[in-house]
Chain A
């Protein structure tokens, strides 16, 4: 058992007994009760479990919780609240970018990383950025529209 200390969504957690083999995804869901992070494939393909670790998107199913000792993690719960959605979340609502919602946390966290790192000037760039996230419902069209709109708002242009 290993003791780890992590910051998740701005809150500090000191957890004394983490088994080395515990995945970050299971740690967030089962130990911290943060079930917003979804788990689909557990081998890196679907993207549902994507979170930000020290500001970069990462598959939480492909990291061990013990590796995040000292890290700063952002999960979908840290983006906004039901009363006050953040820009990307509000654009997902506006553009109907979700149906069942299973892929949505991963889409949002990937979208956050894309918005921070890429100009996202074309739909092709947005689609390339989303290529690691699977959605069985929407056909992606409205997800792309939501990110396009959030990118435009970010740069101050009308969407």
Chain B
């Protein structure tokens, strides 16, 4: 047996989960899909005294259409998001990204609440939350609070969650984007990204009237590049545009060296993906225009 000893509870309501968290005095861990937590337990890098299993809670797994927003319950599996026709039509960038999230067996179990809470800097759902400007709904002993995705991610593997809090829902605004692209490079299909970009544009006449850009794998958290968005909108859309777009994006990040790749290589990949993303996004607006 690999993990250290722990008690195991599987409450059936969110209230009971919060009670269990409070009772554990900061030494309890929530178990959702287990696809990030179990490796940590097996390596004994996490040694909680009590594991609180969320999988028996009814009603935390859903994808709801709220008109201009799509609400996703914390326990919704990656696989359900991947296959959802509602997500495909309302949040197409997310839909396209899902097949890059790990592998089938892991998508069958992993959840959106777990992915956001784990806050891996190279995970797709945290990046999409930042891209879409999603709101994270969090419950704790003092009630409900809502946090913008950009504030939710604090550092690599660190969110703003307190030890007695649970993510219950993530709400994504439906964007009015004309064209979009999601690009990613990983060493093996489905592995964590070395670099990735989500980009959308709204065209008007000969130029752009809006753009949205988020990147990951090149900083400690996923980042939305608002300054780059403004600079991109000001660009003339000639054959130079993809190259200039990649220069603009590159000037906003400075990836570090790590075990998986040098900062220089990540930068090289990001530039390449940025050029490709703008071309794809512009081409997809052409079709719909």
Contact = CB atoms under 8 A, between A and B. Distances in A.
- Real binding pair: yes
Contacts of A72: none
Report which residue of A26, A61, A62 has the largest number of chain B beta carbons within 10 angstroms of its beta carbon.
Answer: A62
Contacts of A132: 102-106, 190
Interface residues of A, number: 32
A9 interface: no
Contact of B6 (A21, A58, A63): A21
Nearest to B41: A21
A57 B39 contact: no
Interface residues of B, number: 33
Report which residue of B2, B4, B99 has the largest number of chain A beta carbons within 10 angstroms of its beta carbon.
Answer: B2
Given A61-B38, A62-B38, A22 B108 contact: no
B42 A57 contact: no
A43 B189 contact: no
B55 interface: yes
A69 B236 CA distance: 61
A23 interface: yes
Contacts of A44: 35, 38-39, 106
Contact of A2 (B8, B35, B103): B8
B188 interface: yes
Interface in B24-52: 31, 34-35, 38-39, 41-43, 51
Interface of A: 2, 19-23, 26, 42-44, 47, 50, 56-59, 61-64, 66-67, 110, 113-114, 117, 127-129, 131-133
